[in-house]
Chain A
Amino acid sequence: MEIRLRVFRFQPEKDQRPRYDVYTIETDPTERILDLLEHVRGDIDGSLAFRRSCAHGVCGSDAMRINGHNLLACKVLVKDLGTSEITVEPLLGLRVIKDLIVDMGPFLEHYKSVMPYFINDDIPADGKEFLQSPEQRARFDDTTKCIMCAACTTSCPSFWSNTEYVGPAAIVNAHRFIFDSRDTGAEKRLEVLNEQFGVWRCRTAFNCTEACPREIKITQAIAEVKQVLTSGKLE
């Protein structure tokens, strides 16, 4: 089938403002959007810049706006879009550096602010694993899936209006530890999330949940953190 691919272009060394380049491409409906971008860069215009690596939805490099939705370019097939008009743009809310590449710096700073790491240095006396029941393990399974692609945070209206908000991805990564029965750092993380730009900025728009390519129930995870802050009880 023939498709019209409109790509957001911004080349900081020569462009004053962004433009859209249009490529007419003959393609198979089962091709990934990433395949189209690779084709453009390899065969038509080498200057097109985008990030990618694994090409099957696990590394999180290629989150971008595709026909207005935050998606991984490697996880969307042409046929999934149901149209031959395809527009590809960078994520919103982060500074565009070049074409589809955005500055991930602020996103990573928010991530780091919630202490996204396991805290418990009191390892079992026998040197073996901390015991954790399958039920305790299941409690935080959903939020272990995050690949830090930023699709959620950059789809959040609260983040767009104030990028000091830690954003859904950081809360997801805090949730992953807060609800891990082995971890001892919940109190400190909850303190951070209870601050002005913490969890209360969430207005439950559900954009994040819709945007997550890993199908993490993000809004629910955020609600669970709010619940702990309200009740003061970790369950």
Chain B
Amino acid sequence: MTQTHVFDVIIVGGGGAGLMAALNASRTAKTAVLSKLYPTRSHTGAAQGGVGAALGNLEEDHWEWHAFDTVKGSDYLGDQDAIDFMCQEAVQSVYDLEHAGLPFSRTPDGKIAQRPFGGHTNNVTKKPVRRAAYAADRTGHMILQTLYQQCIRNGINFYDEFQVLDLLLQDGVTAGVVAVELATGELHVFHAKAVVFATGGHGRMWDITSNAYAYTGDGVAVTLRRGIPAEDMEFFQFHPTGIYKLGILITEAVRGEGGVLFNDKGERFMERYAPSIKDLASRDVTSRAIYLEVKEGRGIQGKNYVYLDIRPETVNLYAEKDGRTNPDGSPYRVTAEEILAKIPDIADFCKTYLGVDPVKSPMPIQPTAHYAMGGIPTDKYGQVVVDAQNTILPGLYAAGECACVSVHGANRLGTNSLVDLIVFGKHAGLKAAEYANGADLPVVHGDPADFARQQIDRLMNGSGKEKAANLGRELRKVMSDDVGVFRTEEGLASAVEKVKELRERFKEVKVGDTSKIFNTELLNTWELGNLFDLALVTAVTALERKESRGAHAREDFPKRNDENWLKHSLAWMDGGQIRLDYKPVVITKYVPKERVY
């Protein structure tokens, strides 16, 4: 039995971008949110350090500075019109969140508190600027909770624990989605005029990852299967500071508050890689520095990690050396209590998982897979565009990590993920409702649930020669070995072959659980299939891009090459083959130049 529902706007995903879209779309259109998790379980809640906006609450700042920092951070691959739009809108969006009740930390005079973050600078002095508006080290949690609370207040329709398996298109126009209700195993068809994908990232294809289990790239995989390209998939961010072996994120705010990175010889090695901004260099730069320190034998005890030190004596020593001051000009000094008050959750993670108190011992850290810069191509209003000419697909929208606007280009600045989801989530929701109010509901020919059912049947009826869990382990190994912080032609070529082989072997997987109610094995196996598709696109686009830019670092092509590669990649999946095209980067006023921190 397939149930049928009709809405104006369907939002797929209940994280920050999805809930922002829902709040905005539901003002004028009949809207529902479909989420495979209870919305408050979404990964937005794991974001820690802050949301960037040039409020200027503690010192001079301008949205134009935020925009330039973002362009530079993107290694000039970000589209400058969209970046300007985002940084300008960020200011009002943060006030909007505050008006919705978000409990930001406060300055002594009662304003929203702000802290420094990697790559965010005063454009005149080049020094770090306090731009990240924060709520302790749980800013994402507060955003997610605040948005969900407002959704409750506004009576938003939620379909919790519904996994979307397919996008319905009819004659090139969006017509809805098909989802499986996890509690019953039944398929549901949601007819809709507009669909907004807000399904998050896909960092679960790497071994060491900060990402939730849920981060399996569902939205990008579903749209790829329906002939929509994915943009800039070779760019995936490795955050420099994940907890050793576990990958759990240690926010950049630790360095914003004065934390310092050390190698085995006790050297503050970032001085060599980013002489001016040091430990607050942007994430790609810092991750590569750690990788190189480890490679040259200076990891702690020769192992593949370094120390992040936030002990007050360390912070104060280096704050003095750097001449760091408070907003009133007095020297920057901290106590253990002040540090713990600013990063309480980090302290909790360290104690729980490492048995380490961060104000007494340094934290062992290593780079961890963190954020997808690439995704479903959109314009700055969240409208999905499907080719190099930016042709709009009517009724389809994407926002947040699953989308590629592109504002992050080759490397996202810290805090800009939250900026992205509040700004573009809002506009995707507004645009989707506006479109739906002027469109007719498309009539879908044939059985709309056909393709979703085929996908389930294939997983239930495989030969069983292969085990999904084993294939998942092999995938994470090859992606970590060959499609990680540094890449080579040889490694990428072998990764492409390996992922192709794994995709073939995946056809032999059989889901053992035959039940309908909460068949989580079926769900997990379907998600793994998504990761295989996205891994193939990632490896192929990375192999093709013969330059180093942002998070994509090629040992064999160490320099950025603007002449040939100042362009976005677009990848289509035609059966098992990947087809590529490229489109120009939008450059308005910031001329590409070498990136030095």
Does chain B have a CB within 8 A of A110? no
> Given B40, B43, B45, B149, which contacts A118 in the complex, CB threshold below 8 Å?
B149
Which chain A residues border B469 with CB–CB below 8 Å?
Answer: 42-43
Docked CA distance A46–B45 (Å) = 28
Expressed in whole angstroms, the minimum distance between the Cβ of B518 and any Cβ of chain A is 5
A contact face: mostly helix, strand, loop, or mixed = loop
A59 pairs with B45, CB closer than 8 A = yes
Does chain A have a CB within 8 A of B565? no
Does chain B have a CB within 8 A of A131? yes
Question: Given A97-B183, A134-B106: A129 and B112 within 8 A (CB)?
Answer: yes
Does chain A have a CB within 8 A of B212? yes
B150 pairs with A117, CB closer than 8 A = yes
Docked CA distance A48–B110 (Å) = 50
Which chain B residues border A144 with CB–CB below 8 Å?
Answer: 103, 135, 138, 142, 145
Docked CA distance A41–B524 (Å) = 10
Which chain A residues border B159 with CB–CB below 8 Å?
Answer: none
Binds A, one of B94-102, B276-284, B319-327: B94-102
Which chain B residues border A222 with CB–CB below 8 Å?
Answer: none
A59 pairs with B212, CB closer than 8 A = yes
Binds B, one of A49-57, A85-93, A151-159, A198-206: A49-57
> Given B111, B153, B248, which contacts A129 in the complex, CB threshold below 8 Å?
B111
Closest partner residue, chain B, to A52 (CB atom):
B213
Interface membership of chain B positions 510-542, coded 1 if the CB is closer than 8 angstroms to chain A and 0 otherwise: 011101111111001000000000000000000
Interface membership of chain A positions 138-178, coded 1 if the CB is closer than 8 angstroms to chain B and 0 otherwise: 00110011111000000000000000000000000000110
Which chain B residues border A183 with CB–CB below 8 Å?
Answer: 101
Expressed in whole angstroms, the minimum distance between the Cβ of B474 and any Cβ of chain A is 13
Docked CA distance A77–B243 (Å) = 15
Does chain A have a CB within 8 A of B17? no
Expressed in whole angstroms, the minimum distance between the Cβ of B431 and any Cβ of chain A is 23
Which chain B residues border A101 with CB–CB below 8 Å?
Answer: 518
Does chain B have a CB within 8 A of A123? yes
Question: Given A47-B513, A117-B150: A129 and B98 within 8 A (CB)?
Answer: yes
A43 pairs with B467, CB closer than 8 A = yes
Interface residues on A, range: 35 or more
Does chain A have a CB within 8 A of B300? no
Closest partner residue, chain B, to A42 (CB atom):
B469
Question: Given A53-B37, A118-B149: A98 and B518 within 8 A (CB)?
Answer: yes
Does chain B have a CB within 8 A of A207? no
Does chain A have a CB within 8 A of B206? no
Which chain B residues border A146 with CB–CB below 8 Å?
Answer: 145
Closest partner residue, chain A, to B510 (CB atom):
A46
Docked CA distance A125–B518 (Å) = 50
Which chain B residues border A11 with CB–CB below 8 Å?
Answer: 515
> Given A12, A53, A58, A77, which contacts B517 in the complex, CB threshold below 8 Å?
A12
Binds A, one of B251-259, B291-299, B301-309, B345-353: B345-353
A132 pairs with B353, CB closer than 8 A = no
Docked CA distance A112–B390 (Å) = 43
Interface membership of chain B positions 9-49, coded 1 if the CB is closer than 8 angstroms to chain A and 0 otherwise: 00000000000000000000000000001101111011000
Docked CA distance A72–B153 (Å) = 28
Which chain A residues border B145 with CB–CB below 8 Å?
Answer: 144, 146
Closest partner residue, chain A, to B513 (CB atom):
A47
Query: Can you list 25 A-B pairs with a CB-CB distance of less than 8 A?
Result: A41-B521, A47-B521, A56-B353, A59-B37, A59-B41, A98-B515, A99-B518, A108-B38, A116-B149, A117-B152, A120-B99, A123-B99, A127-B95, A129-B104, A130-B99, A131-B111, A133-B108, A134-B105, A134-B107, A137-B104, A141-B136, A144-B138, A145-B138, A180-B103, A182-B101
Pick the 6 closest A-B CB pairs, nearest first.
Answer: A118-B101, A42-B469, A131-B110, A46-B521, A117-B149, A47-B513
Q: Which residues of A contact B (CB under 8 A)?
A: 11-14, 30, 41-43, 45-61, 75, 77, 97-99, 101, 104, 108, 112, 115-120, 123, 127-134, 136-137, 140-141, 144-148, 176-177, 180, 182-183, 215
Q: Knowing that A58-B141, A117-B153 are A-B contacts, what are 5 other residue pairs whose CB atoms are under 8 Å apart, sorted by A's residue number?
A: A54-B212, A99-B518, A108-B38, A116-B149, A148-B38
